[in-house]
Chain A
Amino acid sequence: MEIRLSGVSHTYDDFEVLQDINLDIPDGRIVCIVGPSGCGKSTLLRFIGGLERPTHGDIVQIGDPPKGCLNPLTYIFQDFALLPWRTVRGNISLVLEDHGIGGAAAQRIIDDVLARTKLSDFAHALPKQLSGGMKQRVAIARALAVNPAVMLMDEPLSALDSQTRELLMDDLIALWTRAPFTAVYVTHNLAEAVRLGHSIVVLSRRPGRIREIVHLDRPLDERAYGDADLEAKQKHLWDLMRDEARAADAELMNV
Chain B
Amino acid sequence: MSDLSLPSAPPADKPQPTTNQPQNVPFRGGGFRPRPIKGIGIALFVILIALAELGTRTGWISALTLPRPSDVFSTFIELYQTGLLFEHMAPSLMRFLVGSAIGVFLGIAVGITIGLFSLVRAGLVPLVAAIFPIPKIALLPLFVIWFGIGEASKYALIAFGTFTPTVVATFGAVDNVDRTLIRMGQSFGLSWFSIVRKIVLPGAMPGILSGLRISLAIGIILLVAAEMIGVEFGIGSYINEAGNLYDLERLFAGVVILSIFGVLVSALIGLIEKHLLKWRS
Contact = CB atoms under 8 A, between A and B. Distances in A.
Do A and B interact?
yes
Nearest to B198: A94
Nearest to A85: B279
Interface in B185-237: 186-191, 194, 198-199, 202-203
B184 interface: yes
A98 B187 contact: no
Contacts of A74: 187-188
Nearest to B184: A81
Contacts of B199: 83
A250 interface: no
B188 A84 contact: no
A75 B281 CA distance: 25
B187 A49 contact: yes
Interface in A106-152: 126-128, 142, 146
A79 B181 CA distance: 10
B188 A95 contact: yes
A181 interface: no
A158 to B, nearest CB: 15
Given A71-B189, A85-B279, A79 B183 contact: no
Interface in A23-52: 49, 51
Contact of A146 (B184, B188, B281): B188
B280 interface: yes
B16 interface: no
Interface string A81-92: 101111000000
Contacts of B281: 84, 128
B190 A98 contact: yes
B190 A83 contact: no
Contact of B181 (A70, A71, A83): A83
A142 B189 CA distance: 13
B183 A51 contact: yes
Interface in A47-97: 49, 51, 70-71, 73-75, 77, 79, 81, 83-86, 94-95, 97
A33 B253 CA distance: 72
B180 interface: yes
Contact of A84 (B191, B194, B280): B280
Given A81-B180, A83-B181, A75 B198 contact: no
The range of chain B's interface size is 10 to 19
Interface in B117-131: none
A40 B186 CA distance: 21
A127 B187 CA distance: 20
Contacts of B183: 51, 77, 81
B194 A98 contact: yes
B280 A95 contact: no
A117 to B, nearest CB: 17
B275 to A, nearest CB: 12
Nearest to B194: A98
B186 A71 contact: no
Given A77-B180, A81-B180, A128-B281, A98 B202 contact: no
A112 to B, nearest CB: 18
Nearest to A79: B180
Nearest to A87: B279
A126 B278 CA distance: 9
A166 B200 CA distance: 35
B49 to A, nearest CB: 41
Contacts of B186: 51
A86 B185 CA distance: 14
A66 to B, nearest CB: 16
Contacts of A94: 188, 190, 198
Contacts of B198: 83, 94, 97
A71 B184 contact: no
Given A75-B184, A81-B183, A98 B191 contact: yes
Given A79-B180, A81-B180, A83-B202, 8 more contacts: A77-B180, A81-B181, A83-B199, A84-B281, A97-B194, A98-B189, A98-B194, A126-B278
30 contacts: A49-B187, A51-B183, A51-B186, A51-B187, A70-B189, A71-B188, A73-B187, A74-B187, A74-B188, A75-B188, A77-B183, A79-B180, A81-B180, A81-B181, A83-B198, A83-B199, A84-B279, A84-B280, A85-B203, A85-B279, A94-B190, A94-B198, A95-B188, A97-B194, A97-B198, A127-B279, A128-B279, A128-B280, A128-B281, A146-B188
Q: Which 10 A-B pairs have the closest CB atoms?
A: A81-B184, A128-B281, A85-B279, A75-B187, A95-B188, A84-B279, A85-B202, A98-B190, A71-B189, A81-B180
